[in-house]
């Protein structure tokens, strides 16, 4: 039996009741760690954690990261922040506070505990990019006063804080920039394109496409993303990031709609609405850094991941869950 202190950790996952956070917690528990989940349940759901209630190595704490947290842990994953436009624009001031004050509080905890800390950043730091695909050394094209800036600039400031704590205090940091991710446990009403299309198709409602559907996204299945998290967190102190994690295979929004219609055998019609403000026209990560440093690249193809995600939402619908 390996020594507990050397082999296993007590790990804090802030935002752990969310879609991505709950999958990360599953993986960490599978590896034998103890996990403390801190979440204020603004967008996360206890439903995502129901299967863990009897796990003696899992603990849930209702907590808002804009307030300091004093716990004993060995490692931190900071995932706390609403990530879909519908949710982060609902209370934009709180969104910025969650990214900025939340980062300060989690970094302060990591400094006190002298432990490694992971920041879930986003491809939105690139804004509406003029570089395609996006590499980590691209500084971005972000509107600092637009309706999306609470999220975009909040995450950019969080990255600033992480690297300043690294330079000033020698903190051991890892920063990942997440590109569009989908999969089971997505919130049915989160407003993101994959969940929107699937729910609309399953209910037979019109599928809403903004613009002409020619804007592109790169869709990464959640299991692949979590694998990237785990591998980045396990690297040496010479690798801090920021590191792009996402699927480099690019699809237009119209192509995504066609895949969903085909896989759900839905009779839903397409309807077209004006593009939202500052909606990026292209999203595609350059993942050369992750390939070289982590030997990582996504394994789940879009249609395979969509089948799993459609099955999840279909199950919710059959349970009369309010989609």
| Active site amino acids | 151
List residues bridging with 182 in a β-sheet. 221
List residues bridging with 220 in a β-sheet. 181
Across 179-242, where does the E strand assignment appear? 181-182, 207-210, 216-218, 220-221
Nearest to 64 by CA among 101, 35, 36: 101
> DSSP characters for 100-152?
HHHHHHHHHHHHHHT-EEEEEEEGGGGBS-SSSSB-TT---B--TTSTTHHHH
Residue 60 CA, chain-centre distance (Å), reads 19
d(CA 321, CA 280): 32
Provide the 10 A C-beta neighbour count for residue 6: 7
d(CA 42, CA 25): 18
């Amino acid at each position: 039996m390996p020594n507990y202190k050397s082999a296993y950790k007590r790990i804090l996952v802030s935002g752990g009741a969310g879609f991505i956070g709950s999958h990360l917690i599953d993986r960490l528990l599978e590896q034998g760690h103890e996990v403390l989940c801190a979440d204020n349940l603004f967008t996360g759901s206890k439903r995502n954690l129901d299967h863990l209630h009897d796990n003696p190595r899992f603990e849930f704490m209702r907590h808002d990261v804009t307030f300091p947290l004093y716990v004993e842990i060995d490692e931190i994953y900071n995932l706390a922040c609403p990530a879909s436009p519908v949710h982060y624009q609902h209370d934009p001031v709180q969104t910025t506070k969650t990214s900025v004050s939340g980062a300060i509080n989690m970094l302060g905890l990591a400094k006190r505990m002298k432990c490694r800390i992971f920041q879930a950043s986003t491809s939105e730091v690139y804004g509406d990019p003029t570089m395609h695909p996006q590499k980590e050394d691209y500084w971005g094209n972000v509107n600092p006063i637009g309706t999306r800036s609470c999220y975009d600039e909040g995450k950019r400031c969080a990255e600033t804080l992480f690297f300043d704590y690294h330079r000033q205090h020698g903190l051991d940091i890892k920063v990942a920039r997440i590109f569009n991710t989908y999969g089971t446990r997505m919130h049915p009403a989160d407003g993101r394109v994959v969940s929107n299309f699937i729910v609309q198709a399953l209910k037979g409602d019109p599928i809403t496409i903004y613009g002409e559907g020619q804007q592109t996204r790169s869709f990464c299945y959640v299991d692949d993303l979590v694998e990237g998290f785990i591998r980045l967190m396990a690297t040496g102190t010479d690798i801090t990031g920021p590191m792009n994690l996402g699927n480099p295979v690019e699809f237009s929004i119209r192509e995504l709609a066609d895949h969903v219609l085909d896989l759900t055998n839905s009779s839903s019609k397409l309807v077209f609405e004006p593009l939202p403000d500052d909606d990026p026209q292209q999203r595609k990560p350059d993942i050369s850094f992750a390939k070289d440093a982590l030997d990582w690249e996504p394994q789940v193809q879009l249609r395979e991941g969509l089948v799993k995600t459609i099955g999840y939402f279909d199950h919710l619908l059959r349970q009369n869950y309010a989609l």
